[in-house]
């Protein structure tokens, strides 16, 4: 039993701490999108089921893989949703009484894009004002102009 525990622990440690086999490569990079949408359609923003469906669709449109989702409703209809993704995470925090929300999408690697995520949420929420930023994360952090993503 101790031998198997040692083997499993060693395997976990080698992957968790970057000691993957020599024939595997990993690009240490990611994209982190932040958005603030204000003056949104208050009925869309306050529709909890509609908001959950829009977020599901937006996350999938980014190309990410949803592993799990949890949410909490702040009565009567404020909402926080957090997604655990194979690539990292996504979230939204809504303030229906103010017609506003904050969104966040972080994905590792380069196969996901925040473009579809942002587009789906803009279509659903119809914000009049948007402040969005995209950061490329690697051994450093650099901002990319929004029109370039």
The verdict on whether 88 is a catalytic residue reads: yes
Residue 13: pLDDT over 80: no
Q: Which among 10-14, 17-21, 59-63 has the top mean pLDDT? A: 59-63
Residue 22 is assigned to a structural domain of this protein: no
40 is catalytic: no
**How confident is residue 21, by pLDDT bands cut at 50, 70 and 90?**
low
Tell whether 68 is covered by a domain.
yes
- Which of 88, 101, 112, 113 does the annotation list as catalytic? 88
CATH code of the domain covering residue 43: 3.60.90.10
- Assigned token pair, 56: 């599901």
| Catalytic residue chosen out of the listed positions 40, 101, 108, 112 | 108
Q: How many domains does the chain have?
A: 1
Q: What's the chain's average pLDDT?
A: 86
- The answer as to whether 127 is a domain residue is yes
Which domain, by its residues, includes 88? 27-148
Tens of pLDDT, residues 60-94? 999 999 999 999 999 999 999 999 999 999 999 99
108 annotated active-site: yes
Q: Of 46, 47, 86, nearest to 69 (Cα)?
A: 86
User: Which residues, in sequence order, are bridge partners of residue 69?
Assistant: 83
- Is residue 141 in some structural domain? yes
How many CB atoms sit inside 10 A of residue 12's CB?
Answer: 10
CB burial string 16-42: b at 16+ within 10 A, e below: eeeeeeeeeeeeeebbbbebebbebee
Q: Assess if residue 33 is contained within a domain.
A: yes
């Amino acid at each position: 039993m101790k031998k198997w525990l040692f083997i499993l622990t060693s395997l976990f440690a080698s992957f968790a701490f970057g000691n993957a086999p020599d024939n595997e490569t990993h690009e240490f990079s990611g994209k982190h999108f932040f958005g603030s949408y204000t003056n949104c359609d208050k009925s869309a923003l306050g529709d909890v089921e509609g908001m959950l469906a829009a977020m599901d669709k937006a996350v999938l449109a980014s190309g990410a893989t949803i592993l799990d989702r949890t949410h909490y409703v702040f009565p009567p209809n404020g909402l926080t949703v957090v997604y655990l993704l194979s690539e990292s995470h996504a979230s939204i925090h809504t303030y229906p009484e103010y017609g506003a929300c904050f969104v966040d999408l972080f994905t590792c690697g380069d196969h996901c894009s925040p473009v579809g995520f942002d587009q789906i949420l803009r279509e659903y929420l119809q914000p009049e004002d948007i402040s969005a930023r995209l950061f490329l994360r690697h051994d450093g952090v650099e901002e990319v102009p929004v029109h370039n993503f």
